Each structure stands twice: as structure tokens, then as C-alpha cells.
Amino acid sequence: MCSPASIGQVYQTYGTHNPADASPCQEPSCIYPRAKGDPADPVWPVFWQADWTMYRVFSGYRQVPPPYPGRPPAPLRDGADYQTSSGATFYDSTWRGAAGEGAMMERYDGFCLPIFPIDNHFSCKFISLGNVAYFVAGDTRPKWMPRICLFSPLNHPPRPDFITHLPYSAADSARIGKGGQGYSFWISAADGHVMQAGASPDRTADGGILFGYGFQADAAGAVLPQSFYFSGYPLAPANAPIVSQNYTHFAPTQPGSDLWSEVAGLDPATLPACQLFNPPKPPQAAALSVSPPTARAPTWSDIGHWKP
């Protein structure tokens, strides 16, 4: 059961990271029906490991929407329109423990996941063991941030068939290229309903939040993860309207259990709640009991109750 302090840390993920009843899905059980002629749903291997390159796109994203077949295509320019960083994902759906089933780590090197209204120039990891998701920050994290905190008490790794929770998009698939399969929707931060299937046109300015996932067939015909494309926090300091993690060196091999050891023995009830979506005010603002006069945009934690 969630403690009072962690109730607000259950995020709506439309069946992907928590039960369907945690999100205002418009389809029963958050499963989207497929139309005649749509390709068969891809399924993740029961365990796998992959490196990826992350593109934080902050300019030109309306004209050049994701998914991207590799680096964002011209006319977007590295350094001028997007930033490149790296990381890796480790997944094992066969893991079992007191907190539930499935283990997963996403490791961000140098630049953390830019979906929060904070400067993301630090390394970080998200580790999920069963239903409990932990956040581990690197040494260059902000001074207010603990090294390990509780990200969510109800945020399990996606199941191998998680793609059933996203609508198929022929337009997204075409942008991936030959053998591509793209699945995405824009969610309204105001009411939590699906605004649109497919990544284009961009809905950032309308208070929408994108969640998308791409697959692509390899030379042998196996359909493998190609990219995870989504909305980051669109304003400074994150400045990440669109983010794409494009996979490289995908291998259906089992990660070592030592990857989870950093949090495996921790009692989540003893950890501080992460403040990633609602970071503390700067000391000078707190002393004056006022908020800094900056604009705000919705985050994933605002879905269903965002008010500009």
C-alpha cells in the first residue's frame, strides 16, 4: 500500500508501468484495438540489454517530428537544434521479488532524463524492481538532491507485450523506414485523455505530452526495438520538447543481478520521496516565500489535472 507521502508519486502510464485503473484510459484495460491490415504487435524478449543514443531536440521539432531512423535528419543540426548523449537499458522480466515481478535499469550518462523542470546535466539511473522504482543520481547532481530516492511505489517495468497499450501509427512507421513499426499518442495534460494517435502534428503548444515507441525488422526479419520517443520538459532549464532514445547494440541476453544490487536491499519506506517533478525553490525565493517568476509547462506528473 502506498504511504500518504507517496500517493502523488503514482503516475499515469496508461497500462505500461502500472495497472490500467491508475490512468483514465479510453479503451478497456488500456489496450488499443488494431485495424485490419495493421502489423502484428511486437513483443520484447523476456530479457535484453541495449545501448542507446539520446537526442534532446529543442529546435525545429515541429517541422521534423519523431520517430527518427537515426540521428534527427536535416535540416536539424547537432548542437544547434539538438543535443546528443548516451545511455543503456537492462531488462529482465523473469526477476521475482517481494515487490513484484520484473527488473529494469535505465542508465543516463552525463545527462539525465530531461522530463523534469531541472537542469539535467548529471548522470542518473532509474531502477525498477517489481512495482517499486528507485532513482539514483550521480555525483554532479544538484545539491538538494539525495543520491537515492523513491521515484514511485507503483511503477513496474513494462511487460514484454506492453505495446498493446499504444495505438499503431502508419505515419510514425513510415518515418522509421523499411520494416518500421511506430506506436504513439499525445495525452492531454489537462484531462488525461488521448488527443491524437501518431507523433505528427506536434501538440506541445496545446499542452500535450507524447509517448511513442518504435520497432524495426533486422536483416533476418526479427522485429527489434528501434527508438523510444517522447515529450521532455519543453521549457528551460531542461529545454527538451522532444526526446528520442535510439537503440544500438541490442542483445536478447540476461543482465547480471549485480545491476540491481545498489537498491535491492533497501526498504523503500525509509527513502525520501524524489522531488524531480517539483524541485525545491531556490533558497532566495524560499526566504521571501514567493515563487520565481518563471513560466511553467506540464510534466508527466501533471497529466489529468494540469491548470496553466
Angle at 217 between CA 212 and CA 223, to 5 degrees: 70
pLDDT of amino acid 28:
80
Identify which of 137, 75, 132, 127 has the alpha carbon closest to the alpha carbon of residue 258. Answer: 127
Q: How far apart are the first and last CA of the chain?
A: 32
Tens-level pLDDT at each residue, the chain (308 residues): 344 334 458 888 999 998 888 887 888 889 999 999 999 999 999 999 999 999 999 999 999 999 999 999 999 999 999 999 999 999 999 999 999 999 999 999 999 999 999 999 999 999 999 999 999 999 999 999 999 999 999 999 999 999 999 999 999 999 999 999 999 999 999 999 999 999 999 999 999 999 999 999 998 999 999 999 999 999 999 999 999 999 999 999 999 999 999 999 999 999 999 999 999 986 644 544 545 546 899 999 999 889 87
The pairing of strands 242-251 and 223-230 is antiparallel
pTM value is 0.93
- In the prediction, which pLDDT does 300 show? 92
- Other residues' Cβ atoms within 10 Å of the Cβ of residue 305: 12
Per the DSSP assignment, residues forming a β-bridge with 87 are 52, 108
